[in-house]
Amino acid sequence: MTMPDKIPVFLLSGFLGAGKSTLLNQLLADSTFHDSAVVINEFGDVPVDHLLVRQGETSISQVSTGCLCCSGSTDLTKTLFDLHFAAFNGSTGEFSRVIVEMSGLGDPAPLVNALTKSESAKASELDKAINNIFYLAGFVTLYDVINGAETLDNHFEALKQIAFADKIILSKTDHLDESSAQTGLKAISEGLRELNHNAEIIDRAELNLADLFQPRPYSTLEQGEDVLGWLALEEAMSAEAGFGHHEENNDAQLKRHGTAIRTFSIVSDEPTEVERFHQFLNVLQNSAGARLLRVKGIVATKEDHDRPLVIHAVQHLVTDPVRLENWPDEDRRTRLVFITNGVEPKPIRELFAAMIESNGSSFGSLFQRLGRQVAGLFHPKNSTEKV
């Protein structure tokens, strides 16, 4: 296989828990995509997303921690340059496409600008070089039909992800009631069409991966005035910040995503009982509610320490945990990442310590006490549901 003159880049977006990792797992299991490079972007300090995606035999996976839209478009261009150089010098296999999985809280504007501004007078030499090698070939957004309406009301990033898409995938359609699914999906599609007139809307259950990542010329001009305005505003803000400006990632995330958004991790050396962990999640979800945006990670269990559990939770919805056949790396600790809105890390860490790491003989009484008192742990002062 020879490298094409220009390599297509696809941006894969979708708010927290929309199903991006599940889609990537399906993609990497398909031999059609064996020559794909995948960039996995995370919003958090402990990388776990790459552990939740099973890599194909010849696929290239590169992990970027910290939100790309916050850390600066130079992070994306540098990542693409590193991928190209690794393939050019033979360090990795060659690839014919790149799929960038954005953070669930990712703002599309900085990344789209980075991939389309080679003609700009303000483009750096790296920008111009990257745009001579790569081009933006599609923008795919997953929309969670269960939590999507509330998400759009409360998170501006989700609305922008819909507006930038040229293909919108309706995920979790299998959770809809069969008797009303057809009517419900029609209403959802009509609502999304008001936000994006041109995107193709596809039911996840009817998705053809080959068509989804077929190279096509993505044009910002066809995405509407709002998209063009957001791109111009992002360019102006970048220019005001100064050429080559790069903020500390935590400060940038707070500015872009709002001070109520928190991301933090819990790492535990000791394996836990599966029942205890599920009860911890139930108490946490019942207490934090919609403010618990996302929980994901890998869990070491006492029942089968050689085969960890992969955990995904979105607000009130917990997907069935998946038991891996083996650990994906040498680190056999439990690693969890939490993304919350208006909930501080301390009470969740205290709850985890009390319910997971306490003496087993006192667990029954402990659970009853926490069931009555845990709501008092959460005091999101001066926060709002909207960000």
For the segment 113-136, what is each residue's pLDDT rounded down to a tens digit?
888 875 555 667 777 788 889 999
Q: Which residues of 201-227 are buried (b: 16+ CB within 10 A; e: fewer)?
A: bbebeebeeeebbebeebebeebeeeb
CATH number at residue 97: 3.40.50.300
Query: Do 59 and 128 have their domain in common?
Result: yes
Q: Is residue 353 part of a domain?
A: yes
pLDDT exceeds 50 at position 267 = yes
Residue that is last in its domain, among 210, 226, 256 = 256
Q: Is 187 exposed, middle or buried (0-12, 13-18, 19+ CB in 10 A)?
A: exposed
pLDDT, average across residues 30-59 = 62
**HSE (side-chain half, CA atoms, 13 Å) at 344:** 11
Query: Do 236 and 301 have their domain in common?
Result: no
Query: Do 213 and 346 have their domain in common?
Result: no
d(CA 92, CA 26): 22
Q: Is residue 344 part of a domain?
A: yes
The pLDDT value given to residue 231: 87
Query: Do 192 and 129 have their domain in common?
Result: yes
Query: Do 187 and 325 have their domain in common?
Result: no
Side chain identity at 159, as an amino acid letter? L
Grade residue 248 by pLDDT with cuts at 50, 70 and 90: very low
CATH number at residue 368: 3.30.1220.10
Ranked by mean pLDDT, the top range of 48-62, 74-88, 350-364 is 74-88
Grade residue 358 by pLDDT with cuts at 50, 70 and 90: low
Q: Is 364 exposed, middle or buried (0-12, 13-18, 19+ CB in 10 A)?
A: exposed
Query: Do 234 and 319 have their domain in common?
Result: no
Write out the residue range of the structural domain in which residue 327 sits: 260-377
Query: Do 121 and 238 have their domain in common?
Result: yes
Q: Which are the contacts of 240, defined by CB distance < 8 A and separation ≥ 6?
A: none
Query: Do 340 and 250 have their domain in common?
Result: no
Grade residue 72 by pLDDT with cuts at 50, 70 and 90: very low
Q: Is residue 355 part of a domain?
A: yes
pLDDT, average across residues 169-181 = 83
Residue that is last in its domain, among 222, 237, 256 = 256
Query: Do 33 and 112 have their domain in common?
Result: yes
Helix axis angle for 108-116 and 225-241, nearest 10°, is 80
The pLDDT value given to residue 159: 93
Q: Which residue has the higher pLDDT, 55 or 283?
A: 283
Query: Do 169 and 286 have their domain in common?
Result: no
311-332 pLDDT, tens digit each = 877 766 677 788 888 887 888 9
Residue that is last in its domain, among 256, 286, 319 = 256
Q: Is residue 149 part of a domain?
A: yes
Q: Is residue 160 part of a domain?
A: yes
Q: Which residue has the higher pLDDT, 271 or 127?
A: 271
d(CA 282, CA 294): 13
Q: Is residue 384 part of a domain?
A: no
Number of domains present in the structure of the chain: 2
Q: Is residue 165 part of a domain?
A: yes
Q: Is residue 2 part of a domain?
A: no
d(CA 324, CA 229): 45
Query: Do 225 and 112 have their domain in common?
Result: yes
Grade residue 204 by pLDDT with cuts at 50, 70 and 90: very high
Query: Do 204 and 82 have their domain in common?
Result: yes
pLDDT exceeds 90 at position 140 = yes
The pLDDT value given to residue 326: 87
